[in-house]
Amino acid sequence: MPQQKVCNSRPWLGVSSRINAHTPMILFALGVGVFAGYGSVVFRHAIDAVQVLFYQNGSDFLEFYDTLPWYAILFPPAVGGAIVGFLTSKGAPEAKGHGVPEVMEAVALRDGVIRKRVAAVKIAASAICIGSGGSVGREGPIVQIGSSIGSTVGQLLKVNRTNQKILVGCGAAAGIAATFNAPVAGIIFALEILLGDFGFAAFSPVVISSVTATAISRHYFGDFPAFISPVYELGSFWELGLFPVLGVFSALVAVLFVLTLYKMEDLSDLLDIPSVLKAALGGLCIGGILLMFPQIMGVGYGAITLSLMDKMAWGTMLILIFLKIFATSLTISSGGSGGIFAPSLFIGAMTGGVFGVAVHYLFPAVVPTPGVFALVAMGGLVAGTTYAPITAILIIFELTSNYHIILPLMLTCIISTLIASSISPGSIYTMKLMRRGVDLRDGMEQNILKKYKVKDLMQPVPDALFEGASLKQVFETFRMKNAPYLHLVDKKGELSGIISFRDLRSVLAEEYLDHLLIAKDIATTCIETARGDDTVLVALHRMAEFGICQLPVVGVDGKLIGTLREQDVLAAYDQSVVGMQLQDAA
């Protein structure tokens, strides 16, 4: 009997089911875009309101600073710093700093779960910090604000862990898009830096959120570039050859920025004073700098525009490179709340401005417009600090709407990323996490093991034997406990050795030794231990290095508090993996 061919007479059913599967996430992403878009609007208005409160003027600081008395410039950053220090210490400590690393950590280690209060605290703290004079930007805060909104929506709707992360990316993309009027850059930022996933399942919701938030932002603030850029056309092939050199300089300055930021954080940690006072002192120092160089206040867009239009002296730009690095690092390390993206744009504009003046002086026929180097170096600094060249290229293009710079911009950003990443192991975002022991380059397995502490999985304090016990007592204890190891302690209760069956073999065949030796004589006294606060990953590496299947756990006083067994670690790992698979299937 010939085999009959079965045809699907209703192919539209398969298409319909696939559409239905994606519909909920599209709707959720639309909601996140709306909330994050309005969150961005509220945030920008909050910054303006705080500036009016402190300076009685909401315009660019360079337009009115010379009308203010000295004390009206010196003290507002200190007052704002004190308020920010109080808000973050009492409300949400993770709202301190530039925000993006905290979001990356939440995506990598906590399945995108961010506390619900973070968005409100971040809006208030960052608006006060920026509006009162802090030398930080608004992109880091809006990423954390948008991500917190996306995370909250996911938690309320009880989506699975994969979709939870995607909604966090949706919030971040919406925040960037609405803040900079840059929807494409917002999408790439979320996919390249936060999610590391360009697949369709993540791409589609992120696009929806970004477009939605941009539409809301344009309704309130208009649709125009953030910067007025110089008209530029590539004059000759030789001119294009200068931009890789600019990429090298951008990378070196970017590395200096990153190293200065975290060195100052280390120095700040050494100051054992209340967080409110520390932030106030940092703000007071910023106020002192503002008296002489008002360009470093806040996002600094006014100074960036002057640099792009060749209206700033090269000596001033050279000083501002180092002052902005110092001022931003001081603001963040002392407890301020704000982003490093706008400062990177500022530092890049000044670096490129100085470079442009220099090459224009050396090659006036080849370099007719020095300001274009300031524009391109903005992308170079962003790429060199974030290690995200695609985001850097797109955001500079969208901030200026100038397609003529795309070739030199791509060259500079790629060279800057290559040089900076070869010098420093982490970007300005990942470096903060690496200093906490979180390496996002690790796979899922290692991140699972990093979530557990030794104290979470260790067994209760095992029965320990006094190190002066006789061999007869050792034999009897092994027989009664049926344990592979015995732990020895001294008179103070501190761990002094371990006896295994292997250690017993050497004395079993010898007669009369049981009357001559004590437990410590046959024990292994050079032993590896773990602390309760160690990660399980560290403990496993130690087991593998020494070929053992368990580690004694000791307290800070050296006393035995438990034991970590390899079998318990594997059981916890399997349980975590199964739990994640069940969540994804839900």
CATH of the domain at 475: 3.10.580.10
Asked whether residue 303 is assigned to any structural domain, the reply reads yes
Type of residue at 142: I
Element (H, E) at 465: strand 464-466
Query: Residues 381, 484: one domain?
Result: no
Query: Residues 309, 346: one domain?
Result: yes
- What confidence score (pLDDT) does residue 17 get? 47
- What confidence score (pLDDT) does residue 462 get? 63
Element (H, E) at 258: helix 242-270
Coarse DSSP helix, strand, coil percentages of the chain, rounded to the nearest 5 percent: 70, 5, 25
Asked whether residue 389 is assigned to any structural domain, the reply reads yes
Nearest of 141, 128, 137 to residue 53 by alpha carbon: 128
Asked whether residue 545 is assigned to any structural domain, the reply reads yes
Query: Residues 246, 179: one domain?
Result: no
Asked whether residue 52 is assigned to any structural domain, the reply reads yes
Query: Residues 213, 320: one domain?
Result: no
Asked whether residue 26 is assigned to any structural domain, the reply reads yes
Output the six-digit token pair for 328: 């931003």
Nearest of 237, 230, 180, 234 to residue 210 by alpha carbon: 180
Q: How confident is the model at residue 551 (pLDDT cuts 50, 70, 90)?
A: confident
Higher per-residue confidence, 94 vs 315: 315
Query: Residues 258, 391: one domain?
Result: yes
What is the rounded CA–CA span in Å between residue 9 and residue 561? 68
Output the six-digit token pair for 480: 């009664």
Asked whether residue 496 is assigned to any structural domain, the reply reads yes
- What confidence score (pLDDT) does residue 12 get? 44
Higher per-residue confidence, 570 vs 406: 406
Question: Please, which residues bridge with residue 489 across strands?
Answer: 466, 495
Element (H, E) at 563: strand 560-565
Q: Which of 417, 439, 461 is the last residue of a domain?
A: 439
Q: Which of 159, 193, 221 is the last residue of a domain?
A: 221
| Residue 360 belongs to domain with CATH number | 1.10.3080.10
In which domain, by residue range, is 362 found? 237-439
Query: Residues 209, 301: one domain?
Result: no
Query: Residues 212, 96: one domain?
Result: yes
As for how many domains the chain has, the answer is 3
Is the predicted pLDDT of residue 574 greater than 80, yes or no? no
pTM for the whole structure: 0.75
3-state class of 339 per DSSP? strand
Element (H, E) at 551: strand 550-554
Query: Residues 367, 482: one domain?
Result: no
Element (H, E) at 561: strand 560-565
Is the predicted pLDDT of residue 501 greater than 70, yes or no? no
Query: Residues 352, 291: one domain?
Result: yes
Question: Please, which residues bridge with residue 560 across strands?
Answer: 554
Average pLDDT over residues 151-173: 84
Phi-psi label, residue 7: left if phi above 0, alpha if psi -120 to 50, beta otherwise: beta
- What confidence score (pLDDT) does residue 351 get? 93
Asked whether residue 88 is assigned to any structural domain, the reply reads yes
Which residue stretches of 389-500 are H helix? 389-400, 406-423, 430-434, 444-451, 454-457, 471-481
- What confidence score (pLDDT) does residue 15 get? 46
CA angle 361, 366, 369 (to 5 degrees): 70
Residue 223 CB neighbours (<10 A): 11
Query: Residues 35, 94: one domain?
Result: yes
Please give the mean pLDDT across all residues of the chain.
79
Query: Residues 336, 358: one domain?
Result: yes
Higher per-residue confidence, 308 vs 573: 308
Query: Residues 434, 453: one domain?
Result: no
Asked whether residue 169 is assigned to any structural domain, the reply reads yes
Enumerate residues 6+ apart whose C-beta is below 8 A from 290: 65, 73, 74, 77, 133, 296, 297
What is the rounded CA–CA span in Å between residue 415 and residue 420? 8
Range scoring the smallest mean pLDDT among 79-83, 443-447, 536-540, 558-562:
443-447
Element (H, E) at 552: strand 550-554
Q: Give the DSSP letter string of 474-536.
A: HHHHHHHH--SEEEEE-TTSBEEEEEEHHHHHHHHTSSSGGGT-BHHHHSB-S---EETTSBH
Q: Which of 221, 255, 283 is the last residue of a domain?
A: 221
